[in-house]
Amino acid sequence: MTELKRVKQYFAKIQKAEEPPAQRTTSVNTEAATRILKADLSELVARLEDRLVREPLPLPPQIDPDAVAEFDYRRVYATGRLRHDREMLIGPRMRDGEQGYMVVTPLERDGDGSTVLVNRGWISKKMGDQRARSAEALPTGEITVEALLREPWKKNMFTPDNRPDKWEFYFPDVKQMAAL
Please tell me the pTM assigned to this model: 0.72
**Phi and psi at residue 147, to the nearest 5°:** -150, 175
Distance CA 164, CA 176 (A): 8
Instruction: Please tell me the predicted confidence (pLDDT) of residue 14.
Output: 60
* Cβ atoms within 10 Å of 23's Cβ, excluding its own: 6
pLDDT bracket for residue 17 (50, 70, 90): low
pLDDT in tens, 92-114: 999 999 999 999 999 999 877 78
- 120-153 per-position pLDDT tens digit: 999 999 999 999 999 999 999 999 999 988 887 8
Per-residue pLDDT averaged across 163-174, rounded?
90
Distance (Å, rounded) from C-alpha 75 to C-alpha 73?
6
* 87 pLDDT more than 90: yes
The pLDDT of residue 21 is 57
